[in-house]
Structure formats: C-alpha cells, structure tokens
C-alpha cells in the first residue's frame, strides 16, 4: 500500500467517524428532549395550563391538611398539594409511605391529566436531619434538597 | 490532642507530597538517580503521614472525641462499632481524607515497584501523581479539614446518615470504589510521563496497562457492589437508576475499559498512541468530574453548591487538570515515534478494537450528556429539570448490544489481515447458536425484542469466549498427548493474561443476560394486607402474621412478619422492616430479598398502620438477579487470573 492510498483511507475513516458522531449527537439530543423531567411547584403547573399535560413532572409542595384520602382496597391515595398560593389534586397509586402525613413536604412524580388531576406512581416524602415540621412557605428548591432518594 | 496531632500529620503529608512533586519532575528532567531516590522517600513519608492521620481519626471516632469537628458531625454514642469505624467515609471531609490516604498508598506502592525500573519515565510519573496529591492533601489540611477543634464539645453527636448505617455492604463498597477511582491517578501520572518525556516505549505502555488493571478491577467490583447495596437497601427493587452518583462511577469505567482494549493495539501495532493516552487522561478527568458532581452538592441545585467552598475549588482544579492535559497532549503527542505497521484490512483484530473504542466513546458521550445536561440547562436557562431514565435506557441498549456482539466477533479475527472465509468458519457454530437461541425464545413465547436480542447475542459472544478459553489447551493436548486437564491448565498458565481477559468477557455475558432478564421480565405491585389474611402475586402467597417493635440503642424498628409460600411450598418467614433512627425523622426500610437461581422475590415494607393491623408492601418479582452479582464475581476472578504475577521462567515452561 502506498502513502497516498493510506492517506485517502484515513480521510475516509475520519469522514465516517464525523458522520457517525453527528448522527449520535442528533439522536442523543432528540432523545433527551423527549425524556426531560420538570421540577415544578403547584403555581408553575397551574400557570402552564394545558402545556403541563403529558409531560413528566416532579411536583413539589406541602400536603394540605384535611385532604388525605386513602383507600387500602383500591390502593389509591388522594390528596391536595399546595405551595401556599395554588393547589393541585394528586391521585397516587400505592400506599402512603410510613412518614407520610398531612402538612408534610412531598415530591410526586407523574403527569397532569386532562381532568386537571395529577396522576403519580411515585411519592417521596421530604425528610430532614432534625425533628421539625416543615415551615410554612418553604421554597420548593429547599424541598428538593431534602427529599428521599433524590 | 487529636485535632492538633491530626492536623500536624496532614501538614507533614502535604510537605512531603509537595517536595516529592518538585523533585520528581526535577529527577525526570535531569535523570539524576539521587534525586529520584529522594522523591521515592517523599512518597513513603506521604503515605506514612496520611495513614497516621487516618489512624488518629479512627481513634477519635471510636473513642467519641467530640472535640474533633468530623466526629461531632458524624459520630454518636449509640452507633454500633462497625458503623462508627466506617463513618470515616460517610461524609464529605472524612471521605476526602480516605481519598488522600488511598492516593498516598498508591503513590508509595508505585514508588517502591518502580525503584529500579523505567528510569526514564518513573520520576516524571511519580512527580505528576504527587502533584495531584498536593491538591487533595491541601483540601484536607484547609477547607475540608476534618480535624478542626470544636472549642466546647458536646457529649454526643447526630450519628451518620441513616441510609449509610443500614447495611453491611457500606463497609466494603465505598473503599473498593475509592481504590479504583483514586487508582486511576497512577495511569494518569504515567501518561503524563510519556508525554513529558516525549517517548512512549512498548515497555512503558505495557506497564501502564498493568497499573490500570487493579484500579479497573476495583472500580468494576465497586460499581457492582454499589448496585447490590441499592438493591438491598433502597427498597424499590432495582440496582441501577442512572443516578448522577452512579453515572459518576460508570463514566471513568467506560473510558478505562476502552483504554484496556486500545492499549493492546498500542502494544502490538504501535497505533492509537495519542488516542490511548487521551483515554487515560479522560478517565482521570472523569473521576475528578464525578467527585465534583457527587461531593459538591451541585445536583441539588447549581445555585446551592457555592454554599460549600469545596465545589468551586474542585471546579478550578478540574479545569486546571483539563487544560494541562490538553496542552500536554497537543504539544507532545507528535514526539511519539510513528508506527511501522500498516492498517492492513477491515477484517482484523485491530479494526475490531477500533470499533470497540468508538462504541465505548459513544457510550461515554451519551451518559456524560445525560448527566451534565441538567446542570448546563440550569446555568443557561435557570430552569430546573432532570433527564429521565428512559433516555439512558434507550440510548444504552443498542450500544450495549453492539458491544456484546463485538465481543463475539473481535476474538475470532486475527491480527493483521483476516479473510472473510476464515471468519465465517470460526463463527459458524456460535452464529448458529445465536440463531437457535433467538428461535428458541420465540418458540417459548417470548415477544420482547430487547430480551430476545440480548439473549441470542450474549449466547453468541459466550460461545466464542468459551472457544477462545478452551481451544489453546485442547490443541496442546493433541500436540503433546498430555491429559486434557493438564494441557488446559498449562495453557491457561502460559496465556493467563489472555485467559483472564476472556473470563472477564464471560462475566460480562452473564451480567448482560441478567440485566436484560431482570429488567424486561420484572413484575411489581403494591398491596395492603390485613393481619391474619393473605394475598398472592406471581405464584407467591403472602400472609401477614403481625408487626413487632424492636428497640436498639441507636434506632427502633417496626418488623413486619409475612409467611411466604410458593405453589404450596413453604419459603419461610420474611421480615421486612422500617427503621427509625435517633435524631432523624426518616423511616429507612430494610427490604427482604428471597433470592433464588431463577428469580428473586423482593418485599419492601411501605407502611404499617398504628395498631399493626394492616401492612402495605411493595413487591417485586424479577428473574436472574442473583446472576448479576455472580457475573461480577466472575469478572473479578478474570482480573485476578489476568494480573496474577507469573514469573518469567514458569511462564516459559
């Protein structure tokens, strides 16, 4: 094999790798766009309106007192999440975790449905290293920091 | 006393490390053996000093000396002794101290092993390694000083994070991972040495590969133990979630694996020198990036990470290391002597290795993109998002399938120039088995393409691997008329590096099958059972016997008892529990796993009502999970076989 042929081959190889990597880049970015999870509070969900339907959302807020309804036979947990100004009704499949109670900070992962109810199959309870009730109006960012398994 | 003694030991280590870094580079430049000897001594002192610091910290932890800042943050009088000892690595400052000690130990072992070898490269390498050491020791002596004296110590502390004192795997998972993670500094230093000296000899390339092997094996085992830990502790019945912490350990593993393969092309054909060096450097940079990501709190929010000074300092060091690496690479790589060999044809082992490397590079890119995308997005748009698991799964499945397939094709190709005919004749049996497995899966009623593809491609790669493992010994038996077993053992001893590599491949095949089966055929449910009654799921009958409260000094637990039967066969009592640790308002579960060769039954307690009359369980049934841990063991065994020091004389026999 002579030198020019080797050089030509090398350029083919470089070209092929360039094409392959741009294809990979396009696929990867496209795929990421479809699989984003948004971190929102009830006000953002309400403000987004119909745009929030179908997207995967991690909704953070406080469980409103007097709204928890658990049906052990259907394995359905219903409650309302609030951030102080707006509220969202949440339907969760599954039992409430041991530390779940009214007034506690939670993050639920799921989607908004057309009926205006947030459907979730993943409920995470906020925890902190000290014993204290979550304070009123605690920011959602603070909440994410201390939530289980995040 | 401990705060002052500890600080003094760390400062001594810092001094030795700094002097050693300067003299190492000096010795590399001048070639003076007396200065090289001096450098090695600095590495030994570095190790001694940091080990003393760690010993002092352990002493302070065990004796509950709350005048030491780290003990006051992480210790408690009620924590059991084992978890008190391991709490050295359950928080930031302690884990950086452990990091420094492992680095110092690696540096000292390297110095000792290199005492009369590679005089042209070794001083440069040790100098570079100690340069990295300065950074970590500097952190321990300043910003992350765990020895800071607490002027008015309390008589008790909060104890370690409950999640980290819940399982015995916490004792060995982090140190194993660290051994690998930190060990990547050694090949990095060696790569710097090759660039600084402008010479990459075959001997040095081979040494670099050897020094990558132990960190790589540790990282492999550490990652698998991490998966096992999350399976046994976190309660959702999974072992991998593409969490940033997991990705941080996986990214350097990918580039290191690529290096192990490309370095063989470098040794044999002297090609891919610059690329191989770049892989070593990327591996090290990715360990820094991973530490930055997992230790600075940047994933809670980009805006909160500046609350601790560690994050920005890490970022500066990462940037510095990146710039130095790129400049070194750009300026010196053309000093390497070009290869005398040609790329002869597309059907060759070296091309297979090249394809392997491109796949691993693509894998690294996708995982890295998914991991840092949320950070970049938040910096640019101020919107908090995360990248969902489906992205990672969708991207990695085809790449992994291609890698496993290539594991079957590569070994069947010769170095240099292969022919299509020879390839086909070597692959006819494995190829047929692949098709048979695929057809068998379809006949058995499996319809999931990912599972069928994985099983058949894994079968293909597995058969090729077994061929490669047994063929040399069988040929030897034919030629020498020795008993088969003796020939096999002799062949494996002579070709232990190769044989070990194929054993690792076989472990990967087992893991690929286990991952596909356990993720595709996973069934899960949640149920609430009243005391005395039972419910069934996937052939298991689960009866709720009752809940008991168990008190221990550091925690109290709700232990729920369930009688498990499978098709009338008694599987015994399952006791998943919820643990409440003192000074924490979390309920940390301990799931029960009933593990079998065919499938695992995974029970995790979600909640028990106040009277203990109703218990809610999350139940997962997943096949072949056990084989995942077994495959990890096979990979470790392969590494040991491959890296086992065999004396030249023996090997030649």
Kindly report, residue by residue over B145-180, the tens digit of the pLDDT. Answer: 999 999 999 998 888 888 788 888 888 999 999 999
Arithmetic mean of pLDDT, B207-212:
94
Task: Please answer yes or no on whether B369 and A17 come within 8 Å at the CB atom.
Answer: no
Task: Please answer yes or no on whether A28 and B614 come within 8 Å at the CB atom.
Answer: no
Looking at beta carbons, which residues of chain A come within 8 Å of B158?
Answer: 129
Grouping H, G, I as helix, E, B as strand and the rest as coil, residue B336 is coil
Domain presence at residue B120: yes
B580 DSSP β-pair partners = B556, B587
Q: Which of B370, B558, B607 sits opposite A96 (nearest CB)?
A: B607
* Residues making up chain A, counted from first to last: 150
Structure tokens, B101? 């000690």
B283 confidence band (pLDDT: 50, 70, 90): very high
Query: What mean pLDDT, rounded, does chain A reach?
Result: 81
Fold of domain A37-128+138-149 = OB fold (Dihydrolipoamide Acetyltransferase, E2P) (2.40.50)
3-state secondary structure chain A: CCHHHHHHHHHHHHHHHHHHHHHHHHHHHHHHHHCEEEEECHHHHHHHHHHHECCEEEEEEEECCCCCEEECCCCEEEEEEECCCCEEEEEEECCCCCCCCCCCEEEEEEEECCCCEEEEEEEEEECCCCCCCCCCCCCHHHHHHHECCC
Domain presence at residue B219: no
Which has the higher per-residue pLDDT, B644 or B322?
B322
Task: Pick the residue of A3, A28, A74 with the most B CBs within 10 A to test the interface with B by mutation.
Answer: A28
Domain presence at residue B8: yes
Chain A touched by B365 (CB under 8 Å):
yes
Which has the higher per-residue pLDDT, B309 or B545?
B545
Percent of chain B with pLDDT over 70: 97
Question: Among B35-44, B333-342, B612-621, which is the least confidently predicted range?
Answer: B333-342
Q: Which of A24, A29, A127 sits opposite B362 (nearest CB)?
A: A24
Grouping H, G, I as helix, E, B as strand and the rest as coil, residue B338 is coil
Q: Looking at residue B66, what DSSP letter applies?
A: T
Q: DSSP states of B627-651 as a string?
A: HHHHHHHHHHHHHHHHH----HHHH
d(CA B215, CA B185): 9
Structure tokens, B240? 């991998």
Task: Please answer yes or no on whether B304 and A145 come within 8 Å at the CB atom.
Answer: yes
Q: Check pLDDT > 60 for residue B579.
A: yes
Task: Please answer yes or no on whether A17 and B395 come within 8 Å at the CB atom.
Answer: no
Task: Please answer yes or no on whether B384 and A144 come within 8 Å at the CB atom.
Answer: yes
Nearest to B381 by CA among A136, A129, A29, A39: A39
In A, minimum Cα distance to B343 occurs at: A6
C-alpha distance from B326 to closest chain A C-alpha (Å): 20
Task: Taking each helix axis as running N to C, give the angle between helix B273-295 and helix B310-332, from 0 to 180 degrees, rounded to the nearest 10.
Answer: 180
B211 exposed, middle or buried (CB, 10 Å; 0-12, 13-18, 19+)?
Answer: buried
Q: What is the pLDDT of residue A3?
A: 65
Grouping H, G, I as helix, E, B as strand and the rest as coil, residue B580 is strand
Q: Which residue has the tokens 């002052």?
A: B4
Task: Pick the residue of B163, B243, B388 with the most A CBs within 10 A to test the interface with A by mutation.
Answer: B388
The arrangement of strands across the sheet holding B599-608 comes to B523-530, B614-623, B599-608, B592-595
Q: Which residue has the tokens 């590096």?
A: B497
ipTM confidence score: 0.81
C-alpha distance from A97 to closest chain B C-alpha (Å): 5
Looking at beta carbons, which residues of chain A come within 8 Å of B358?
Answer: 17, 20
Domain presence at residue B383: no
Looking at beta carbons, which residues of chain A come within 8 Å of B369?
Answer: 28-29, 32
Q: Check pLDDT > 80 for residue A1.
A: no
Pair B125, B192: CB distance under 8 Å: yes
* Residues making up chain B, counted from first to last: 653
CB pairs under 8 A between A and B: 110
Which has the higher per-residue pLDDT, A54 or B239?
B239
Task: Pick the residue of A73, A98, A143 with the most B CBs within 10 A to test the interface with B by mutation.
Answer: A98
Nearest to B80 by CA among B559, B577, B558, B581: B581
Query: What mean pLDDT, rounded, does chain B reach?
Result: 92
d(CA B511, CA B458): 10
Q: What is the pLDDT of residue B334?
A: 85
Looking at beta carbons, which residues of chain A come within 8 Å of B236?
Answer: 149
B338 exposed, middle or buried (CB, 10 Å; 0-12, 13-18, 19+)?
Answer: exposed
B594 DSSP β-pair partners = B601
Print the domain residue range for B606: 523-627
Which has the higher per-residue pLDDT, B92 or B26?
B26
B648 confidence band (pLDDT: 50, 70, 90): low
Looking at beta carbons, which residues of chain B come within 8 Å of A31?
Answer: 391, 394-395
Q: What is the pLDDT of residue B542?
A: 96
Percent of chain A with pLDDT over 90: 36
User: How many structural domains compose chain B?
Assistant: 2
Looking at beta carbons, which residues of chain B come within 8 Å of A72?
Answer: 528, 614, 616
Q: What is the pLDDT of residue B213?
A: 94
Task: Please answer yes or no on whether B384 and A39 come within 8 Å at the CB atom.
Answer: yes
Q: Check pLDDT > 50 for residue B651.
A: no
Q: Which of B342, B387, B391 sits opposite A1 (nearest CB)?
A: B342
Q: What is the pLDDT of residue A135?
A: 37
Q: Taking CA B356 as the corner, what is the angle to CA B353 and CA B357, rounded to the nearest 5 degrees? A: 90
Pair B451, B441: CB distance under 8 Å: yes
Arithmetic mean of pLDDT, B287-304:
75
Q: What is the pLDDT of residue A131?
A: 32
Pair B550, B556: CB distance under 8 Å: yes
Q: What is the pLDDT of residue B303?
A: 58
Q: Where are the beta strands (DSSP E) in B494-608?
A: 523-530, 534-537, 540-551, 555-566, 569-574, 577-581, 587-590, 592-595, 599-608
d(CA B618, CA B235): 8
Domain presence at residue B78: yes
Structure tokens, B209? 């590969």
Q: What is the pLDDT of residue A149?
A: 36
Q: Hey, what long-range contacts does B574-581 have (CB within 8 A, 24 or more apart)?
A: B574/B542, B574/B601, B574/B603, B576/B603, B576/B604, B576/B605, B576/B617, B577/B550, B577/B605, B578/A98, B578/B605, B578/B607, B578/B608, B579/B162, B579/B166, B579/B555, B580/B555, B580/B556, B581/B159, B581/B162, B581/B165, B581/B554, B581/B555
Task: Pick the residue of A5, A6, A23, A32 with the most B CBs within 10 A to test the interface with B by mutation.
Answer: A32
Looking at beta carbons, which residues of chain A come within 8 Å of B524?
Answer: none
Q: Check pLDDT > 60 for residue A146.
A: no
Q: Check pLDDT > 50 for residue B273.
A: yes
Looking at beta carbons, which residues of chain B come within 8 Å of A93?
Answer: 526
d(CA B650, CA B653): 5
A111 DSSP β-pair partners = A119
B293 confidence band (pLDDT: 50, 70, 90): confident
Q: Which CATH number does the domain housing residue B94 bear?
A: 1.20.120
Chain B residues 556-615 within an 8 A CB cutoff of chain A: 558, 578, 583-587, 605-608, 614
d(CA B544, CA B510): 36
Nearest to B593 by CA among B564, B615, B567, B616: B564
Task: Please answer yes or no on whether B585 and A128 come within 8 Å at the CB atom.
Answer: yes
B502 confidence band (pLDDT: 50, 70, 90): very high
B285 confidence band (pLDDT: 50, 70, 90): very high
Out of B131, B160, B189, pick the residue that ends a domain. Answer: B160
Q: Which residue has the tokens 């009214």?
A: A102
A143 confidence band (pLDDT: 50, 70, 90): very low
Q: Which residue has the tokens 């491609």?
A: B457
C-alpha distance from A93 to closest chain B C-alpha (Å): 8
Q: What is the pLDDT of residue B300?
A: 61
Our measurement of the distance from residue B148's CA atom to the centroid of its chain's CA atoms, rounded to an integer in Å, reads: 32
Between strands A36-40 and A56-63, the pairing is parallel
Q: What is the pLDDT of residue B306?
A: 57
Q: Where are the alpha helices (DSSP H) in B410-483?
A: 420-443, 449-480
Arithmetic mean of pLDDT, B115-133:
96
Structure tokens, A111? 């989607």
Pair B185, B211: CB distance under 8 Å: no
d(CA B524, CA B201): 55
């Amino acid at each position: 094999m002579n030198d020019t042929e080797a050089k030509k081959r090398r350029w083919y190889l470089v070209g092929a790798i360039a094409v392959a990597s741009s294809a990979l880049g396009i696929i990867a970015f496209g795929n990421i766009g479809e699989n984003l999870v948004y971190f929102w509070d009830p006000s953002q969900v309400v403000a987004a309106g119909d745009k929030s339907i179908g997207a995967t959302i991690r909704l953070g807020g406080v469980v409103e007192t007097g709204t928890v309804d658990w049906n052990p036979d259907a394995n359905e947990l219903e409650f309302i999440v609030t951030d102080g100004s707006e509220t969202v009704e949440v339907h969760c499949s599954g039992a409430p975790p041991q530390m779940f109670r009214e007034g506690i900070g939670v993050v639920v992962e799921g989607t908004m449905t057309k009926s205006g109810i947030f459907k979730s199959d993943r409920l995470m309870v906020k925890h902190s290293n000290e014993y204290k009730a979550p304070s009123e109006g605690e920011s959602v960012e603070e909440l994410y920091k201390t939530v289980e398994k995040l | 006393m401990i705060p002052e003694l500890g600080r003094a030991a760390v400062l001594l280590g810092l001094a030795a490390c700094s002097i050693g870094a300067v003299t190492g580079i000096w010795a590399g430049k001048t070639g003076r053996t007396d200065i090289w000897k001096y450098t090695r001594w600095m590495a030994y002192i570095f190790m001694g000093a940091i080990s003393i610091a760690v010993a002092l910290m352990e002493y302070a932890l065990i004796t509950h000396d709350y005048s030491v800042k780290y003990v006051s943050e992480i210790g408690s009088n009620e924590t059991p002794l084992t978890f008190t000892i391991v709490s050295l690595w359950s928080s930031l400052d302690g884990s950086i101290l452990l990091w420094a000690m492992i680095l110092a130990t690696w540096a000292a072992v390297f110095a000792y092993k290199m005492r009369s070898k590679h005089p042209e490269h070794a001083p440069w390498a040790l100098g570079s390694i100690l340069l990295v050491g300065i950074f970590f020791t500097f952190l321990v002596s300043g910003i992350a000083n765990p020895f800071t004296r607490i002027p008015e110590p309390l008589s008790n502390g909060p104890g370690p994070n409950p999640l980290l004192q819940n399982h015995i795997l916490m004792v060995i998972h982090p140190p194993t991972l660290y051994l690998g993670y930190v060990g990547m500094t050694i090949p990095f230093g060696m790569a710097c040495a090759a660039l600084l000296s402008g010479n990459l000899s075959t001997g040095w390339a081979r040494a670099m590969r050897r020094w990558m092997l132990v960190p790589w094996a540790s990282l492999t085992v550490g990652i698998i133990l991490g998966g096992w830990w999350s399976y046994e502790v976190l309660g959702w019945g999974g072992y991998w979630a593409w969490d940033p912490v997991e990705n941080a350990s996986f990214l350097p593993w990918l580039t290191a694996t690529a290096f192990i393969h490309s370095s063989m092309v470098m040794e044999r054909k002297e090609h891919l020198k610059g690329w191989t060096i770049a892989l070593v450097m990327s591996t090290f940079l990715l360990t820094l990036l991973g530490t930055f990501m997992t230790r600075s709190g940047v994933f809670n929010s980009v805006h909160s990470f500046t609350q601790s000074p560690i994050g920005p300092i890490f970022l500066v060091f990462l940037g510095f290391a990146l710039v130095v690496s790129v400049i070194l690479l750009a300026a010196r790589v053309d000093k390497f002597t070009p290869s005398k060999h040609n790329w002869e044809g597309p059907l060759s082992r070296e091309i297979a290795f090249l394809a392997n490397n491109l796949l691993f590079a693509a894998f690294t890119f996708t995982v890295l993109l998914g991991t840092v995308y949320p950070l970049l997005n938040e910096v640019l748009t101020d919107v908090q998002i995360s990248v969902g698991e489906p992205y990672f799964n969708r991207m990695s499945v085809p790449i992994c399938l291609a890698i496993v397939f290539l594991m079957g094709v590569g070994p069947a190709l010769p170095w240099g120039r292969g022919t299509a005919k020879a390839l086909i004749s070597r692959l006819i049996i494995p190829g047929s088995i692949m098709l048979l497995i695929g057809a068998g899966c379809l006949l058995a009623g499996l319809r999931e393409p990912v599972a069928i593809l994985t099983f058949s491609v894994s079968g293909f790669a597995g058969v090729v691997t077994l061929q490669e493992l047994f063929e040399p010994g069988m040929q030897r038996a034919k030629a020498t008329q020795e008993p088969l077993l003796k020939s096999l053992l002799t062949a494996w001893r002579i070709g232990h590096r190769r044989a070990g590599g194929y054993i690792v491949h076989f472990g990967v095949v087992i893991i690929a099958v286990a991952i596909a089966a356990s993720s595709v055929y996973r069934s899960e449910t949640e149920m609430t059972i009243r005391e005395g009654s039972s419910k069934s799921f996937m052939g298991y009958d689960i009866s709720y016997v009752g809940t008991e409260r168990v008190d221990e000094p550091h925690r109290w637990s709700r232990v729920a008892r369930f009688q498990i039967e499978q098709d009338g066969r008694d599987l015994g009592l399952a006791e998943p529990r919820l643990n409440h640790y003192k000074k924490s308002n979390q309920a940390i579960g301990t799931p029960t796993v009933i593990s079998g060769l065919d499938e695992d039954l995974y029970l995790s307690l979600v909640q028990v009502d106040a009277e203990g009359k109703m218990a809610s369980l999350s139940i997962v049934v997943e096949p072949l999970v056990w084989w995942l841990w077994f495959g990890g063991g096979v990979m470790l065994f392969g590494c040991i076989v491959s890296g086992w020091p065999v004396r030249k004389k023996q090997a030649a026999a």
